[in-house]
A and B are shown apart, each in its own frame.
Chain A
Amino acid sequence: MEAPKSTTSKNPIVRFLNMNTSGQTSGRNLPLWRQLLLQIISLAILASVMFPIMYIVTLSFSSKTTRPSSLELIPKEISFVAYKQVLDKPTGNPVTFIELLKNSVLLSVGVGLAALLIAVTAAYAFSRLKFKMREVLMILVFIPLLMPAVGLSTPLYLLLNQIQVKQCTKEVVAIQPFTTCEGGAKGKLVFNLRDSLLGVGIAMTATALPFAVWNLKGYLDTIPKELEEAAAIDGADTNQTFWQIVIPLAMPQLAVTFFLGFIGHWQEFVTTWLFLSQPKDYTLAMTLYNMTGQYANSVPWNRFAAMAVIVALPVAVVYVGLQKQIVGGLTTGSVKG
């Protein structure tokens, strides 16, 4: 018989009475008054966590379009009116919910994937290979991490704004800055890279890329070198080691880095709001912003609530599924960075 696992009492009799003989945790080794006290604290925390969630969920299930005059935290009715309205006509602009969703998914998945694919070889080189200027180049990659996205927005705006497709005449199309319309004619603007999802995606990659390199390098540093050394003895060259040993080993972290990118860019707001001007390119996050604050005096709160739930759900699902890996991935990255 071993000593009881976590009694705090010095009294041997109390200790004996509280002894846990089952080997499993049960309520027996916690005195009732402590159990009750801890339960009250835990329930109070539970209530504080649930307060905004219940509030917004209740609001989203309400069919009332007037603003709430008293506090309701438990749904009195389950009405999907607000959800239906949001799905049918999310904003005053001629844009469907599916388009908004598509834009959000394209941007967040696209940027997440692009950053990952471009970053992975660089992360490997920084983690494993020896070469001249390694330190200098590494610092160079990490420097942009210190610059917030707003800080790069003006030059990126100007850069992307230069690439425009113009319809000069019916048959002639000019792609600026490579070709221009004849005789200095202005032509009709068909496509402006800055004002497109592709352009915004490129601008978002500017900050996503250094983060992906940093995060992946932090993880690759933790993979033991023995496997690679064994592969090298067996005659594998660097390319083979990278593709056949390192990539399969790093798969979980590649997934985590991708999903971190996805989560971060799902709610991207700064760049999209600065660059995009056409409602057809708007994202869910932009729509949600339009439904709050100064622009939203006419938006019923039940619709806002339904939209908030809809925007939150995909991220919540991803997070719950990958919770352990995401938290682990974040902390290994930051420790070893």
Chain B
Amino acid sequence: MEISKPSSRKAQWRKISLPYLYLLPAFLIMGIITFYPLIYQIIISFTNFDTKHLLLGLKSPELEFIGLKNYIDIFTAALPVENFNFFRVLEFNFWWALSNVMLHVPAGVLIATLLNTEGLWMKRIYRAVYILPVVVPPLVVATVWTNIFDERYGAMNQLLANISTYFGNTGPIFIRWFEDVKPPIPGFLPGAPLTLAYYAMMIANFWLGWPFMSVVATGALQSIPRDLYEAASIDGATGGQQFWNITVPLLRPAMIPAAVYGFTLSFNLFNFVFFMTGGGPARSTELLVTFAYNLVRNLRWYGVAAAFAVIIFGVAMIVFLITNRITRATQNYSEA
């Protein structure tokens, strides 16, 4: 070794500093465009920040610190916004994400199992077609379904009219999917009435959601060893028993992360709500993110919006901690 003492110290120093050098680009940029806005947002959430403060920002002389007023206003529904109740929106938001995942995952698994049936004709065609909803950008899906649920010219009402002719109906059907305020099943979700608009969005999001779950399930299904089924059928297990005792437990490690992913995706599904219902009717389909957008874009109460963003952050943190626990648990499960 010919390395002299000072240069080896230099090498030592390089070794210690290298990881930070690798982190530098990301942290430098995030410092400006991510962390600075985050902190700024927290600061203005305690102020009466308004359109008139936009020019000077925190330096504007009339900017007042009003403590927790924005937060209290949000929680106590004291904002001068019609039909706004934070806890109802929160409850609806959770229910929306949960009810979506509860439908998408079982449907995805069942359809994947169906397509995994040996000897099924035209399997390839089905596989190719069933993947299509995954491929279309959700923004386009949302706009297309908005048209489909149009009250006068939409395809859904026309389809229902066509079907109902078999039951003796002759006239056209005009269901007001996005306007009807009366919940079709009263009391289904206590505290947050589910209007027809919710069901319309569920239909559209179901179309979009199950194929992804089905793709994940197919991958997992094909990694289940065949001998397990062979052994089970030799032991006399029926198809149903095989499904519950082999397929379901072995799919769990793959499906739970997918379900968690689907949950977080639905939880913040801005495009769907924004395009299809705009949060209406009477804010019954408003999500936290769409209301935050409303606060910024239409109402322009930036202080309140900042407080709202901080609250969303808190909710997301809780969701993350819970879902993280669930995925951790399954990781251990799959390793066991």
Contact = CB atoms under 8 A, between A and B. Distances in A.
Contact of A71 (B162, B215, B302): B162
A125 B158 CA distance: 57
Contacts of B336: none
Interface string B253-268: 0100110110000001
Nearest to A125: B22
Interface in A58-110: 67-71
Interface in B231-257: 233-234, 236, 238-239, 242, 254, 257
Give the residue among A46, A203, A335 with the most B Cβ atoms within 10 A.
A335
B327 interface: yes
A28 B136 CA distance: 36
A7 B233 contact: yes
B199 interface: no
Contacts of A56: 144, 147
B137 interface: yes
Nearest to B111: A45
B26 A119 contact: yes
Contact of A206 (B37, B121, B254, B275): B37
B25 A122 contact: yes
Category for how many chain B residues contact A: 35 or more
Interface residues of A, number: 103
A203 B140 contact: no
A140 B133 CA distance: 35
Contacts of B136: 53, 312, 315-316
Interface string B109-134: 00100110111111001100111111
Nearest to B161: A71
Given A141-B26, A308-B143, A331-B216, A150 B36 contact: no
A3 B230 contact: yes
Contact of B33 (A121, A125, A203, A292): A203
B302 to A, nearest CB: 5
Contacts of B34: 144, 152, 206-207, 209-210
27 contacts: A6-B117, A39-B120, A39-B121, A42-B122, A49-B211, A55-B148, A71-B159, A71-B162, A119-B26, A122-B25, A141-B30, A146-B317, A148-B309, A148-B316, A156-B33, A202-B33, A209-B26, A242-B22, A269-B274, A274-B297, A293-B275, A308-B144, A311-B140, A319-B134, A323-B131, A327-B215, A328-B219
Given A30-B120, A71-B159, A131-B19, 12 more contacts: A45-B126, A48-B207, A49-B207, A71-B155, A118-B29, A141-B26, A144-B30, A274-B297, A292-B147, A311-B137, A311-B140, A327-B216
